[in-house]
Amino acid sequence: MTLSVVSESDIVLPTRIKSGYNFDGWLLNNTGNPYTGSYRVTENTTFHAKFTATDSVHTVNIYDTNLNLLASIASGTIFDVAGAKSDYSLTNLYVASSSSAILTPAITISGDTNLYAAPNVIEITDQAGLNDIRSDYSGKYLLKNDIALVAGIDGFDPALGWESIGNNANHFTGIFNGNGHKITGLWINRPTNNRVGLFGVINNARIENLGVETASSGTVRGQEAVGGIAGYAKYSTFTNVYFKGKIVGTNFIGGITGDNDESVNIRNAYSTGNISGNDYVGGIVGGLGRYNTVSKSYSLAIIQGNNNVGGIIGHSAHDGSVRDSAAINPSLTGNRDVNYIVGLYIAGSFTNNFALSTMSGPIFNGYSYSGTPKTMFQLQEQTTYLNAVNGDGLNGLGWSFGNDYNNPWKIDASKNGGLPYFYFEDLQELNNQSLMIREHQTFESNLKTIDSQ
């Protein structure tokens, strides 16, 4: 939040409300005693909001061995550990980064706390923690808050951009649970590198509950196997993930993953922005491998390529499957083997998929798949995505709407262009408003207009 006022004038500092916390006031340059009431502006000044957790109620989150959230419990200062183990069929519970189980029947909670059914879970709170994944590619990671990437520090080269996590020599083989948070400010400028994305190479890994967004003018740029979440994937799963931004490469370019090898499952995913390459370009996956599945996903990205271009999948070479998904791409362009759902397939199963009816006609010379046409109005209706018979007599896509991991989708005419989005994006919006205020409030001299952002 930025306020601009006339120099040498008084301003009334606003109060802030954060659930579960008391607002103490504003810290000048993040030090000293907090200010409340009025403050005389004499120069550019930055304040940080100071909050103190209330003592009456805290939240205890319990995660299973795969970092899926089992329960979020509002508790008093004493929490019954033994009862939690019994209620959720757990053997032990651990705090973060610990190999010792909590054996006592009760613990005192001093603040919001996460307990895990697996030992040595690593909680990530900042860019340094994200970068530290490189020290343990097989770890279990939980993102505790949104992260805005900053160039020049912690794995982010000021000229080349972010260095993808995992490469040909060191595959990421762990679990990364975004916990409903997002990583923003991503850009990569490595046009001669293969296997490029937030993650470069993942193998036998899980990535879930995560949003990734490029910087406003940023691009994820590589050569082959370039994706918004991961460049190359094998024996891995992606659940409840999205990418927003621009991706550029040559071959195997996709909104979520670029090149999928064997046994990759993508469920509940979407992409928006611009995705461009030469061959094997898709809104979700560039190249779909053997025993791959993409389900309950959609792309709203502009797709540009040459050969093997699809709104969801560019090319399916093996026994892959695409079902219950939608191509809502504003435009889809290429020269050969271009189609709404799959540009070209050698083998695969493609069932119950929809495509925006106003996209330009497909161009294909081999086996290709377009899906059932739908108008934008239909694609903005929740019934289109449910297991229900629609007005055109066709079944919906069977998506799950709600407010949790297993029912992640929401739809609201005022958000995301009226198209489906994830329940945790509502929480992100609230967190960002709090974060923006908490991080800075700047008063600039010699200006008379008032702007807020």
Residue-wise pLDDT for 89-115, tens only, equals 899 999 999 999 998 888 887 777 899
CB atoms within 10 A of CB 107: 17
More confidently predicted of 132 and 360: 132
Residue 342: both structure tokens together: 């799959």
Contact predicate 20/54, CB 8 Å: yes
Beta strand 31-35 with 21-28 is antiparallel
Which of 171-185, 246-260, 322-336, 435-449 has the least mean pLDDT?
A: 435-449
Does residue 54 carry a pLDDT above 80?
no
Q: Which residues pair with 78 in a beta bridge?
A: 108
What was the pLDDT predicted at 21? 61
Segment 211-231 shows an average pLDDT of: 97
- CA angle, 269 then 176 then 80, to 5°: 110
Q: Which residue has the tokens 């183990």?
A: 85
Mean pLDDT calculated for residue range 331-337: 94
Report helix, strand or coil for 351.
strand
Contacts of 392 (CB under 8 A, 6+ apart): none
- Which range, of 8-12, 210-214, 259-263, averages the lowest pLDDT? 8-12
Confidence of residue 289 (pLDDT cuts 50, 70, 90): very high
The pLDDT mean for the chain works out to: 86
The yes-or-no verdict on residue 174 having pLDDT over 60 is: yes
Q: Where are the beta strands (DSSP E) in 93-170?
A: 106-108, 113-116, 121-124, 140-143, 147-148, 156-157, 161-162
Least confident interval from 185-194, 198-207, 279-288, 360-369: 360-369
**pLDDT in the model for residue 150:** 93
Percent of the chain with pLDDT over 70: 86
3-state secondary structure of 80: strand
- Kindly report each contact of residues 216-220 with a partner whose C-beta sits within 8 Å and lies 24 or more positions away, as own/partner: 218/161, 218/185, 218/186, 218/187, 218/245, 218/246, 219/187, 219/188, 219/189, 219/245, 219/246, 219/247, 219/248, 220/186, 220/187, 220/188, 220/196, 220/245, 220/246, 220/247, 220/248
Asked if 283 and 423 count as a contact pair (C-beta separation under 8 A), the reply is no
Measured in Å, how far apart are the chain's first and last C-alpha atoms?
A: 5
d(CA 150, CA 54): 32
Residue 282: pLDDT over 70: yes
User: Which tokens is 300 given?
Assistant: 């709203």
Higher local confidence (pLDDT), 224 or 404: 224
Whether pLDDT at 366 is above 80: no
335 burial level (CB within 10 Å; 0-12, 13-18, 19+): exposed
- State how far the Cα of 188 lies from the Cα of 146, in Å rounded to an integer: 19
Mean per-residue pLDDT for 178-192? 96
Residue with the bigger pLDDT between 47 and 319: it is 319
The pLDDT value given to residue 12: 78
User: Do residues 340 and 310 lie in contact, with contact meaning Cβ atoms separated by under 8 Å?
Assistant: yes
> Regarding predicted confidence, which is higher, 34 or 392?
34
pLDDT at 161 over 50: yes
Lowest mean pLDDT segment, chosen from 62-66, 158-162, 383-387, 427-431:
427-431
Q: Which pair of structure tokens corresponds to residue 350? A: 């493609």
